[in-house]
Amino acid sequence: MNFIEFRNRFISLVCFNTDQVYASYPGFDRNNLGRWVNKGYLVRLRQGYFTFPEFRQQKDFAWYFANRIYKPSYISLQTALSFYGIIPEAVIQITSVTTLKTANFRNDFGEYSYKTIKNELMFGYELKEMEGDRRIMFATPEKALIDLLYLYPFYNSDRELSELRLDESYMEEELNMERLHAYANRFNSKALFRRIKLLKAVHNI
């Protein structure tokens, strides 16, 4: 198999998996992928998923791959809260939620962490535009906060919630409380309602 031919076939996909390779080339020798990774022609994102090294220099692809290498999933939790400026820290891991089992991956684009939620809780995200007419599935600010409180039960005290250092002006002026409560109602969790009540008290909202 000629790599230039292979590259021309798959470069437009940005991220591809071995099933797509075999669909295009039924007799493909899988060992080629390992050799091309070792030569730097390809980047392995996780077992069976690959991209091309030139995307390292292009904006937003680390987030785009979060959606692609483990799906269904959408970016949420600390990554989304940092993106919206609700927490002050730059987040090293790219955090997502999924209906699949909890998983973690590391590749040249970063560290990826996925937390499991039920199928009926897979909502509250929107498509954000990125270059190349592609889209990234990102939690709304309210859903990112709800996901965090639901999936991390240790946020159950004034101290723990204060240590999140949520931006006060965002919490008071921009967070959509009606949407937050509507999302919470769909979880039907008394523990979550208690954490939200405590969060509101901590931030006087």
Distance CA 95, CA 79 (A): 6
Q: For 99-124, how does the pLDDT look when each residue is reduced to its tens digit (9 = 90+)?
A: 999 999 999 999 999 999 999 999 99
pLDDT bin (cut points 50, 70, 90) of residue 133 is confident
Q: Helices 31-38 and 3-10 sit at what angle, rounded to 10 degrees?
A: 90
Domain boundaries, the chain: 3-57, 61-203
In terms of Cα–Cα distance, which of 147, 140, 158 is closest to 197?
Answer: 158
- Indicate whether 173 pLDDT > 80: yes
Cis peptide before 72 (omega within 30 of 0): yes
> Is the pTM of the predicted complex or chain greater than 0.85?
yes
Tokens read off for 179? 């949407």
Question: 29-83 pLDDT, tens per residue?
Answer: 999 999 999 999 999 999 999 999 999 988 899 999 999 999 999 999 999 999 9
Using CA atoms, how far apart are residues 168 and 193, in angstroms rounded to an integer? 20
Element at 162 (helix H, strand E): helix 158-163
What's the alpha-carbon Rg for the chain, to the nearest Å?
Answer: 20
- Segment 176-185, tens digit of pLDDT: 999 999 999 9
